[in-house]
Amino acid sequence: MLDILQQYWLMLLVGQYPNGPLGGLAMTLILAVCGLSLSFPLAILLAVARTSPYRWVARISGYTVNMIRGMPLLMLIFWAYFVLPKVTGHSISGFWTLVCALVVYESAYLSEVIRAGIEAIPKGQIEASRSLGVGYWTTLRKVILPQALFNVLPGMTSQFVSTIKETSLGYVISVNELTFAANQINNMVLTQPLQVFGILAIMYFIVCFSLSRAVGWLDRKIRRVRQMSPA
Amino acid sequence: MLESVYLWQLLNGMATTLTLFSVAWVMAFSLAMVLVVVRTLNLRICRWIVDAFVEYHRNVPLMVQVLFWYFGMPELLPEGFRSWLYAHNAELSLAAIALALGSSAYIAEDIRSGLRAIPGTQFEAARALGSSYLQTMRYVIVPQALRISTGPLISRALLLFKNTSVAMAIGVVELTYQAREIENETYRTFETFGAATVLYLCGSFLIMLIGMRIQARFALNRGAGHA
Amino acid sequence: MIKFDKVNKWYGDHHVLTDIDLHVRKGEVMVVCGPSGSGKSTMIRTINRLEEIQKGTILVDGQDIHAKGVNLNHLRGGIGFVFQQFNLFPHMSVLQNIMYSPVHVRKQGKQETRDLAMSLLERVGLAHKAEAYPGSLSGGQQQRVAIARALALKPPVMLFDEPTSALDPEMVGEVLQVMKALARDGMTMVCVTHEMGFAREVADRVVFMDAGQIIEVAAPDEFFGNPRHPRAQKFLADVRAH
Amino acid sequence: MIKFDKVNKWYGDHHVLTDIDLHVRKGEVMVVCGPSGSGKSTMIRTINRLEEIQKGTILVDGQDIHAKGVNLNHLRGGIGFVFQQFNLFPHMSVLQNIMYSPVHVRKQGKQETRDLAMSLLERVGLAHKAEAYPGSLSGGQQQRVAIARALALKPPVMLFDEPTSALDPEMVGEVLQVMKALARDGMTMVCVTHEMGFAREVADRVVFMDAGQIIEVAAPDEFFGNPRHPRAQKFLADVRAH
Amino acid sequence: DQLADIAARGTLVCGTLGTSQPFSFQDAATRTLVGYDVDVCKLVADKLGVGVEYKLLSVAARVPELNESRVDILAANLGHSPARAEQIAFSHAYYVSPQKLLVREDSGLETVEQVNGRRVGATKGSSSEREVKRILDKSSVIGYADSSATYLALQQKKIDAQVASELVLVRLLLQSPPTAPVAIVREPVFMEYWGLGMRKDEPAFVARVNEILDEAEQDGTAAALFEKWFGAETPYKLERSFKIAPIAE
Ligand SMILES: Nc1ncnc2c1ncn2[C@@H]1O[C@H](COP(=O)(O)OP(=O)(O)OP(=O)(O)O)[C@@H](O)[C@H]1O
Ligand SMILES: Nc1ncnc2c1ncn2[C@@H]1O[C@H](COP(=O)(O)OP(=O)(O)OP(=O)(O)O)[C@@H](O)[C@H]1O
Ligand SMILES: [Mg+2]
Ligand SMILES: [Mg+2]
């Protein structure tokens, strides 16, 4: 295991860079960050639509979310790979294809988490804000979302973690990320797949686990500041 | 569209996917229950073990877990049992185990948050009536926790159903495997993946429908105004 | 100041407000009581349109609140509302809670608003808690902050829906004291409450509701001393029995 | 029946019960009152070991409840406990709630238990709600079911921890009525409550607690009419103020 | 017409796998794309007088990418079969791959016929998997994610034989630890003819590519390329047993 690591660590970290395209762990992280930062606002929008007082808005967004939830990400990536260029008229790189598929998929899941948070806000909170003369959108922005998002922080974290893990499906469309790099190494080493995938597992674990821990720490800190009971 | 041979092949794959899903779900659910109970025992060592189990499964990609179970685990088994296993569809059973373990970590967490949503006073009320710890868990706490966590559990079932596709990495001939096979044989990529997508959607909607039924049947009316 | 004219409201088939006629004058303190489910909360909530009505009109300050073109947020800004469950925003400090509506509705400057908020906190006796979060306050303190928050837009009318019934008995006093001070300063108030002592001391009139109707309107001495309607007699007997 | 002897309890450094000595006789109704945080709940909960104590002994029916080999479930089965928040099981119907302890603790037959449960429901006036779920009942009704549930094992002692303080004022009456009937039937009862009327009518003695100590034990007329201790005087004044 | 488009663009877009040694893979030292397929693409581009641009494709994406016109030509382990030939046009065979069996040395298996009836592993979705199912009709064939997974399954006795191209098997044989020796069954199971893939509606382009390949065969360039990647200097030490020629249906 150590000899593999010694020989290929650069490839695992950055892929062919700087002689070729960036890849490996660096690419995985870039993908995850792009996927997350784009799906987050979209998920909020979807969640707000699903809790909207307009029945049809709620219904349409509900169908959309369930449709996406019913499809394996693999299939979604596949369709994005071929449909996106048709729609936009431009050829689109594997990287952006994967980002788009991830964003669509993750915002559906994330929106479910956020919706649960919004629905759990006591009605009195909304009434209190509205009775002070504050409008719907400001109430949403200043009262509902801050509380809802904070309350579902653990749920969102595990969604973030699965996004990181799901970038690994990028290898199907040859996006040069961590799993792809590991596959390449595996093809070169050929006879030690367990060791190669062991290294892969450890790398994912370190990244994901530190993320969860960091968010947990943040959560406790905010609770302390707000003098709320620990969750 | 696709000739009937291929369609038949896809349906075959779907059958395997469903088998894998149901077996893994039952195992995952039972194991999750054990995890939850062990975790509530409040022994430092138990909590530590369960937490490690959960963290491992949550932070390592499923694919890697499946590979580990197929290639790593059987090496620890005695020779005789191992060859028996390989002769009896080891791929399917080991994939089911890997999937079940992975899901059980999540299910256990879902149930645990369901447990936390039950006011502690419910526990006290049952104990004050003279029922034992186990009775209280069995008749009062767990039924409520399950009702509270139906929503997350349905999502979990859905994810498990879709995740069965990683089993193809170790040669389980399920839906995605079959689709790839047909695609490779005919190069008719769109038709094949289109049909597979439709099949997956059907399965998912079926699970959602059943879930909604269960949810409607067991909805917990905790009453207006009283937390 | 507030005028109900033949106000009716239904939840589906359920007739919760029937022909409500009522006139609350400027500076008047009106206490509303009646059995549970009689429609007290519903009635008081219609005044700032937290509940919609199906028939009749409600005038606030001479304006029909259901007229076309009424700015709902502006209307609500002019009516303070205090809830049974306090409903403070747990993610904001006490000061931020109070500054919330001036900043977001009136777009007032931060510094000026802060001064106003501090003076309101002074008034409810909680200036030392400005930086605390609601989670660390007792029920009575939370309700006093909620009153300060409702006062932040300087509304000419205050509505209270059972402001003390979620409180431990000994915290009731501190909240009532703040309310009494408000009444003495000439605030127009409508209070749903079962606190007889408070009603006797500061109410100008008491309204008794039952099954969605106003059954009796009388001065407190008269109402408590000599209720005319048998339902009111029974209710008073019930409340006093224990 | 129940005897406290130099009972002490700490939460960490916090001394919540200090040298409690008390004797509740068979058939006696004892009311416990005192300011919030004075340890009333803690004290009553030690009787069926919902709270553990660190020093002293508690005898129930002559038996030390902390003796080795005491069957905790058996002990608790012989003591009915009614909570402030009702704590009915929301996933069971009213009937199932009441049948819970006879079926699971005493392993009684279903049919026989059902008859018992129905007669208990009759007694609290809710026979027509047997199939309803707790979520659909009013607070008063829920508390009456909770009392019936606590009676299902025919306990010789009943403990009540503020059974009416989560209720709307007019539902208080219906619950107190059930409790009064119980008292009249000769049940041994310990009630934490602020309901003066109830205390005057049925209590044999009133216990006043403050800061974890029993400060005064007296007959209700004496206690309400002429409290000896200044803390008790202040407390009564506070409660009556509004 | 595609030839004109390529000329206008000045580059030939060549789809290749990037994960298949020694056809198309990242060189570990320089971490650049090299291999037999890569060189063949380069050859075609040079003869067309244009530059070459490589596009890495996954196995599932190669044919759609071609038919969607996102690449001009595929050099991506495309084994010929009649069903596949309905979807894309194949060039002349530029590589012929004998598909053989790898067995554990202690298993005593020596002929293809002996293996028939045993558990056989193959790379999932490969053409060898499909063909071996037809030829070894008594065996159960299990597909794994890649050849190293299949090899591991063989070592762990999950399967009795691994079917793959001779090339892959030679590499596996060379890297096998001496403690667990394996052997290649001499007789091939079948021969697979690899062609470059092009769109069916571009006959002129197909004809031009075939012309280029034939030329390369005649002037020895093709043989030199084979020597470079598979010959005596390489770990594989293969003999060139084929000539570039049309694939028989
Ligand atoms: N959202 C609703 N949907 C249907 N019925 C409702 C709703 N809100 C209230 N009601 C019904 O309207 C009636 C009046 O309710 P309201 O809350 O105004 O009573 P109340 O006098 O404030 O009672 P309480 O003293 O318990 O607060 C009740 O019968 C109640 O069941
Ligand atoms: N689990 C606990 N951990 C630490 N301190 C506690 C705990 N439960 C109660 N206390 C403290 O013990 C003291 C007595 O509490 P207890 O609930 O018995 O008071 P009470 O008289 O019942 O008050 P109330 O009228 O509010 O119900 C209080 O100071 C309280 O803060
Ligand atoms: Mg109300
Ligand atoms: Mg208490």
pLDDT tens, position by position, E221-239: 999 999 999 888 888 888 8
Question: A112–B155: do the CB atoms touch at under 8 Å?
Answer: yes
Alpha-carbon distance D198 to B172, whole Å? 73
Whether C39 maps to a domain, the answer reads yes
pLDDT at B1 over 70: no
Shortest CA gap D98–chain C (Å): 27
% chain A with pLDDT above 70: 95
Alpha-carbon distance B184 to C224, whole Å? 89
Cβ neighbors of D194 (< 8 A, separation 6 or more) are C169, D33, D162, D165, D239
As a dihedral over the C-alpha atoms of residue C104, residue C106, residue C107, residue C108, rounded to 10 degrees, the angle is: -120
pLDDT value, residue D167: 85
Range of the domain at D86: 2-92+155-241
Residue A77's pLDDT band (cuts 50, 70, 90): confident
Residue C38's SS3 state is: coil
Alpha-carbon distance C137 to E40, whole Å? 77
Shortest CA gap A152–chain C (Å): 14
Distances (CA, A) of C224 to A96, B82, C160, C231, E62: 75, 88, 21, 13, 89
The alpha carbons of chain C give a radius of gyration, in whole angstroms, of 18
Q: Which residue has the tokens 């009605």?
A: A123
Bridge partner list, E182: E104
Q: What are phi and psi of D196, to 5 degrees?
A: -60, -40
Distances (CA, A) of B24 to B28, B158, C90, C164, D222: 6, 12, 42, 54, 70
Question: A72–B176: do the CB atoms touch at under 8 Å?
Answer: yes
Cβ pair A200, B64 in contact under 8 A = yes
Helices (H), chain A: 2-14, 24-50, 55-69, 73-88, 94-120, 123-131, 136-139, 145-151, 153-166, 178-189, 193-225
Cβ pair C32, C59 in contact under 8 A = no
A95-105 pLDDT tens trace: 888 899 999 99
Give CA angle at A96 (A91, A99), nearest 5°. Answer: 150
HEC string for E77-120: CCECCHHHHCCCEEEEEEEEEEEEEEEEHHHCCCCHHHHECEEE
Chain E residues closer than 8 Å to B185 by CB: 81, 83-84, 130
Average pLDDT, chain A: 86
pLDDT value, residue D150: 93
Whether C130 maps to a domain, the answer reads no
Shortest CA gap C226–chain A (Å): 36
Whether D39 maps to a domain, the answer reads yes
Q: Is the CB of D46 under 6 A from ligand 2?
A: no
The parts of chain C modelled with pLDDT lower than 50 are none
Separation of CA C40 and ligand 1 centre (Å): 8
Helices (H), E103-202: 112-115, 127-135, 147-155, 166-175
Alpha-carbon distance E109 to E161, whole Å? 9
C64-100 pLDDT tens trace: 998 888 898 889 999 999 999 999 999 999 999 999 9
Residue D88's pLDDT band (cuts 50, 70, 90): very high
Alpha-carbon distance B31 to C45, whole Å? 51
The least confident of B44-53, B70-79, C165-174 is: B70-79
In chain B the domains, ranked by start, together with CATH numbers, are 4-226 (1.10.3720.10)
Whether D212 maps to a domain, the answer reads yes
D123-138 pLDDT tens trace: 999 999 999 998 889 8
Whether C191 maps to a domain, the answer reads yes
Query: Both tokens of residue A133?
Result: 């003369």
Cβ neighbors of A94 (< 8 A, separation 6 or more) are A81, A170, A173, A174, A175
pLDDT value, residue B224: 40
pLDDT value, residue D242: 53
Q: What are phi and psi of C121, to 5 degrees?
A: -65, -40
Question: B170–E144: do the CB atoms touch at under 8 Å?
Answer: yes
Mutate to test the pocket of ligand 1, among C8, C38, C52, C53 (most ligand atoms within 8 A of CB): C38
Please tell me which of the candidates E88, E129, E156 has its beta carbon nearest to residue B187: E88
Domain count, chain A: 1
Q: Is beta strand E11-16 parallel, antiparallel or unpaired with respect to C157-161?
A: unpaired
Closest CA to B195 of B178, B210, B172, B208: B178
Question: C83–A227: do the CB atoms touch at under 8 Å?
Answer: no
Domain count, chain C: 1
Chain B residues closer than 8 Å to E64 by CB: 189-190
In terms of phi and psi (left: phi > 0; alpha: psi -120 to 50; beta: otherwise), the region of C162 is left
Closest CA to A34 of A101, A83, A126, A85: A101
Question: B135–D105: do the CB atoms touch at under 8 Å?
Answer: yes
**D29: domain CATH number?**
3.40.50.300
Please tell me which of the candidates E25, E64, E148 has its beta carbon nearest to residue A193: E148
pLDDT value, residue A176: 79
Alpha-carbon distance E83 to B183, whole Å? 11
The parts of chain E modelled with pLDDT lower than 50 are none
Q: Which ipTM was obtained for this model? A: 0.77
Please tell me which of the candidates B125, B220, B224 has its beta carbon nearest to residue D83: B125
Q: Is beta strand D188-192 parallel, antiparallel or unpaired with respect to D157-161?
A: parallel
Question: A69–B61: do the CB atoms touch at under 8 Å?
Answer: no
pLDDT at B223 over 50: no
Residue B146's SS3 state is: helix
pLDDT value, residue C242: 53
Question: C85–A122: do the CB atoms touch at under 8 Å?
Answer: yes
Alpha-carbon distance B154 to B147, whole Å? 11
pLDDT value, residue C192: 95
pLDDT value, residue C16: 92
Pocket of ligand 1 (CB under 6 A): C 11, 14, 16, 34, 36-42; D 168
Whether D203 maps to a domain, the answer reads yes
Q: Of the bound ligands, which one is closest to the alpha carbon of residue D13?
A: 2
Q: Of the bound ligands, which one is closest to the alpha carbon of residue C38?
A: 1
The DSSP code sequence of C185-210 is TT-EEEEE---HHHHHHH-SEEEEEE
Cβ neighbors of A76 (< 8 A, separation 6 or more) are A68, A101, A104, A105
Q: Which residue has the tokens 């936009």?
A: A88
Alpha-carbon distance C3 to C63, whole Å? 10
Chain E residues closer than 8 Å to A20 by CB: 26, 31-33
Range of the domain at A192: 2-228
Question: B193–A158: do the CB atoms touch at under 8 Å?
Answer: no
pLDDT at A231 over 60: no
**What mean pLDDT comes out for the span B159-176?**
88
Residue D235's pLDDT band (cuts 50, 70, 90): confident
- H or E, element range at B13: helix B4-40
Whether C184 maps to a domain, the answer reads yes
D52-66 pLDDT tens trace: 999 999 999 888 988
Chain A residues closer than 8 Å to E32 by CB: 16, 19-20
Q: Which residues of A touch E (CB under 8 A)?
A: 7-8, 11, 15-16, 19-20, 78, 81-82, 85, 91, 171-174, 176, 183-184, 186-194
Question: D198–C170: do the CB atoms touch at under 8 Å?
Answer: no
Give CA angle at B165 (B163, B166), nearest 5°. Answer: 80
The residue of chain C nearest to residue D242, with distances taken between CA atoms, is C197
Alpha-carbon distance B182 to B6, whole Å? 7
Residue B201's SS3 state is: helix
Q: Is beta strand E140-144 parallel, antiparallel or unpaired with respect to E190-198?
A: unpaired
Cβ pair E70, A91 in contact under 8 A = yes
Shortest CA gap A227–chain E (Å): 52
Alpha-carbon distance A52 to E1, whole Å? 53
Whether C136 maps to a domain, the answer reads no
pLDDT value, residue B2: 60
Separation of CA D136 and ligand 1 centre (Å): 14
**A155: domain CATH number?**
1.10.3720.10
Q: Is the CB of D40 under 6 A from ligand 2?
A: yes
Residue B225's pLDDT band (cuts 50, 70, 90): very low
pLDDT value, residue A229: 67
Peptide bond into E22 cis (omega under 30): yes
Separation of CA B55 and ligand 1 centre (Å): 47
Shortest CA gap B164–chain E (Å): 15
pLDDT at B227 over 50: no
Greater model confidence, C153 or B80: C153
Chain D residues closer than 8 Å to C242 by CB: 164, 172-173, 176, 195-198
**What mean pLDDT comes out for the span D201-229?**
90
- H or E, element range at C58: strand C55-60
Separation of CA C41 and ligand 1 centre (Å): 7
The burial of A45, by beta-carbon neighbours within 10 Å (0-12 exposed, 13-18 middle, 19 or more buried), is given as: middle
